[in-house]
Amino acid sequence: MRVAKRIKNLGTGIFSEMEAHKKAVEARGVKVINLGVGSPDRPPAPHIIAALHRAVDEPTNYRYPLAGLPRLHQAVAAWYRRRFGVELDPQSEVLVLMGSQDGLAHLALAYLEEGDLALVPDPGYPIYAGSILLAGGEIYPLPLLAENGFLPDLEAIPEDVARRARLLWINYPNNPVAASADRSFFARVVEFARHYDILVCHDAAYSELAYDGFKPPSFLEVPGAKEVGIEFHSLSKTYNMAGCRIGFAVGNREVLAVLAQLKSNIDYGVFRVVQEAAIAALEGPQDCVEEMARTYMKRRDVLVEGLAGCGWHVPKPRASMFVWAPLPPGYTSSRQFALELLHRAGVLVIPGVAFGARGEGYVRIALVQEVEVLEEAVERIRRSFAF
């Protein structure tokens, strides 16, 4: 049977290749330390699990949910007010999603015609480019370079490109490059989007995994941001609820209404049991979030300082659950280095080129193992390489 071109254009090659090599290494009897996929390794806090238990026993929760529970919309709005000082109308400026990727994947279908242009970070989380390709749009890559603090240079975008563009994707704290942005950058984005009539889509999934006293701002904190864009959040990373598949989008009410209309033709909403857990997470004690951030910071320090002791010097990120590591001296291919790391040390990381051409020269390391496992990973690297 003939497969549609839109499927053939979706890239999973390097991820599939790394998984195949992982199985080959494990077949030799090596226990691979997997620092590849950014999936939280700890469970949700007890009060969240307790809310799940209670909701499972409620018979009415097994009907089609169709939309987000009003109490969840209110919980999101209250959380935004407490965390960012941003006021949201719970009814019109909040949309519940099956994880933030649900919205990230579908928004382009609502706003792009065949051949329309979108501005996409390079390197970037793969669903940004994937959603554009599925919608039949064209991608204009925005280089994220170390010399610019891994922020896109909006002034370097050609005038004709900016006037054609319909969507702009941004993501801070960032995956994969683990960079952060401040309000002045978001203000420039708002000004740029307003001038060229571009819809801004900000992925803020890692805003609560921040270190050293840093508090990442919301894009919506900037005056005028609601006029030009929306922001996506996920409970996956903040509350260790990745398997629950729940997130939300907030901001421009017209954009959210269009996305809701599209989704009403695709799914029947998020399981109410999961929505009850999300309410408990957002309204309950937040010490679990603070504890998780401290845990990731400790993991970051152990890994980065340990690698420095091996002669591999890697910057410490201020936020996210990743380390964006320049290749050690003597290496130029991220794919080749990642394969050597896996086969020689039994440590799996993701080649930077998997996230775009500008990712070459780096590997992404996920902080998804306990400290003692990261110490073991560092020791394996120390024994296997001489940087």
**Domain boundaries along the sequence of the chain:** 5-43+288-384, 46-283
Burial of 93 (0-12, 13-18, 19+ CB in 10 A): buried
Q: In whole angstroms, give the CA distance from residue 267 to residue 244.
A: 16
The CATH class of 5-43+288-384 is alpha beta
pLDDT at 387: 87
Same CATH topology for 5-43+288-384 and 46-283: the answer is: no
- The token pair that represents 251 in the structure block: 């901001």
pLDDT at 11: 67
Strand partners, 326: 362
Cα separation, 109 vs 136, in Å, equals 9
In a structure prediction context, what are the per-residue pLDDT tens digits for the chain, which is 387 residues long?
Answer: 888 878 777 766 788 889 999 999 999 999 999 999 889 999 999 999 999 999 999 999 999 999 999 999 999 999 999 999 999 999 999 999 999 999 999 999 999 999 999 999 999 999 999 999 999 999 999 999 999 999 999 999 999 999 999 999 999 999 999 999 999 999 999 999 999 999 999 999 999 999 999 999 999 999 999 999 999 999 999 999 999 999 999 999 999 999 999 999 999 999 999 999 999 999 999 999 999 999 999 999 999 999 999 999 999 999 999 999 999 999 999 999 999 999 999 999 999 999 999 999 999 999 999 999 999 999 999 999 988
DSSP per-residue codes, 226-247: HHHEEEEEEHHHHTT-GGG--E
- CA 342: distance to chain centroid? 24
CATH number for the domain whose boundaries are 46-283: 3.40.640.10
Quote the pLDDT of residue 3: 83
